[in-house]
Amino acid sequence: MAKKLILASFYCLFASFLVCRAQTTIASIYVFGDSLVDVGNNNHLPLSLVKANFPYNGVDFSGNKATGRFSNGKNAADFLAERLGVSTPPPYLSQPNNTFVKGVSFASGGAGILNTTSDQKSTISLPRQLGYFSTVSQRLSKEMGTKAAQEHLSKSLFPFVIGSNDIINYFQSNSDIAKKYTPQQYVNLMVSNLREMLKGAHSLGARKFLFVGLTPIGCAPKQRYPSATNECNNDVNEWSNKYNSELRQMLLELQSSELKDLHYSYFDTYNIFLDFIHNPSTYGFNETKSACCGLGMTLRRCLMDRPAKSDKTIVQMLEEIMRNYYIARLCIIFLIYTKLSQNKKRKRTQLVLPYSQMDRVDLQVSHLNRLVGVTDTDCIVNLRMDRNAFGRLCSLCR
């Protein structure tokens, strides 16, 4: 829960920061980025495993339903739009034929600056997001006229909130990318690719930009977990901060040389987050290390977003969370199948079911065998978790 509160505070801070810096009225917002600003694009990617459409996504959003935002409620794109007095830009893939005069979000959870980052997760890479913007720019020119469209875009804001997934991919175990590049070479590659894409966005009419720096990624729960003391991964933090430094330098050089009419604000997310982490009580927090999402050791905090409760309460809450998914039914079948298998080995039957129920069980067990008996990929596609995580989830229902 603390992590979500920190994110909410961060969203408000950077929205306020930008409003203070703004000197003119913003016509609309065209968002590029990853899960921090995705408002639902990934829901329209059938092959992507990166989704935010579970019941606990959106519990604090209007209607209390998941919308594809990787949050329990509003995200940075929503807060930013509110502060600037414009509508939250809709996900591009929800209305791919729209002109989007009032703005649009191309952001995709799991996306990266580099194509290789997004390809691993079947999400929308930054180059592809820029391609979508090119299409929107052409439609605006056709509808409004070239001059009016260019004036509209020059008065619009273009937030770029991306780069975290590239760093995470580099430092994950057995990373092929790390075998190909040194950390410095990789950061240089990220910055040089982003530079070219900014020039592309500028050529299409973008003039006002917001760049949100990377957080201390090494302090994320997943990065802390391998540490016996649950401390931040200093290597990941070092290169996250190094990327931020290289990004700021690139922007200064780009503005002073090639794009003199480039206007931008840079939000120092790194140091703001460090202050939250190192001085939580100053902001009313007492927990900054636990995850608000994920499976395994953080399952209870993830699913409940509350302090740990009794096993009985946990099971009840799990049942509530899984009510709209066939995962709950598969868990039950999984447990029945496990029990029947154990009984068969012992040559006795302790579990008796009516014939009609057994018939349905056989069908479900057949499906379950196909699901987890071939590859983890099939299991992940259907359950969005691997076999091991699925088994642990089911064990909570015993």
User: Which CATH number does the domain housing residue 35 bear?
Assistant: 3.40.50
Q: Residue 348 is encoded by which pair of tokens?
A: 């006795």
Co-location of 228 and 80 in the same domain: yes
Instruction: State the total domains in the chain.
Output: 2
Please say if the pLDDT value at position 266 is more than 90: yes
Mean of pLDDT values over 115-142: 94
Co-location of 119 and 21 in the same domain: yes
Q: Which of 2-11, 13-22, 166-175, 251-260 has the highest mean pLDDT?
A: 251-260
Q: Is residue 298 part of a domain?
A: no
Q: Is residue 294 part of a domain?
A: no
Co-location of 229 and 314 in the same domain: no
Co-location of 163 and 51 in the same domain: yes
Q: Is residue 232 part of a domain?
A: yes
User: Which is nearest to 165 in space by CA: 210, 130, 132, 120?
Assistant: 120
Co-location of 141 and 247 in the same domain: yes
Higher pLDDT, 337 or 250: 250
Q: Is residue 264 part of a domain?
A: yes
Please say if the pLDDT value at position 350 is more than 60: no
Using alpha carbons, list the distances in angstroms from residue 252 to 184, 191, 221, 242, 257.
Answer: 20, 13, 33, 16, 9
pLDDT at 324: 35
Higher pLDDT, 176 or 5: 176
Please say if the pLDDT value at position 309 is more than 60: no
Co-location of 276 and 385 in the same domain: no
**Cβ contacts of residue 186 below 8 Å, gap of 6+?**
166, 170, 177, 178, 239
Co-location of 232 and 381 in the same domain: no
Co-location of 126 and 160 in the same domain: yes
Lowest mean pLDDT among 1-5, 8-12, 221-225, 375-379: 1-5
Q: Is residue 300 part of a domain?
A: no
Rounded to an integer, what distance in angstroms lies between the CA atom of residue 331 and that of residue 315?
12
Domain C-terminal end among 232, 267, 283? 283
Mean of pLDDT values over 223-249: 91
Co-location of 72 and 210 in the same domain: yes
pLDDT digit string, tens, across residues 95-110: 988 989 999 999 999 9
What are the CB-based long-range contacts (under 8 Å, 24+) for 392-396?
392/295, 392/296, 392/299, 393/295, 393/299, 393/318, 393/327, 393/331, 394/331, 394/334, 394/335, 396/299, 396/311, 396/314, 396/315, 396/318
Co-location of 351 and 390 in the same domain: yes
Please say if the pLDDT value at position 303 is more than 90: no
Q: Domain of residue 317: give its range.
A: 309-395
pLDDT digit string, tens, across residues 270-285: 998 898 888 888 877 7
Rounded to an integer, what distance in angstroms lies between the CA atom of residue 268 and that of residue 99?
33
Q: Is residue 42 part of a domain?
A: yes
pLDDT digit string, tens, across residues 10-37: 555 555 445 445 456 899 999 999 999 9
Co-location of 260 and 378 in the same domain: no
Residue type, 101: V
Co-location of 66 and 140 in the same domain: yes
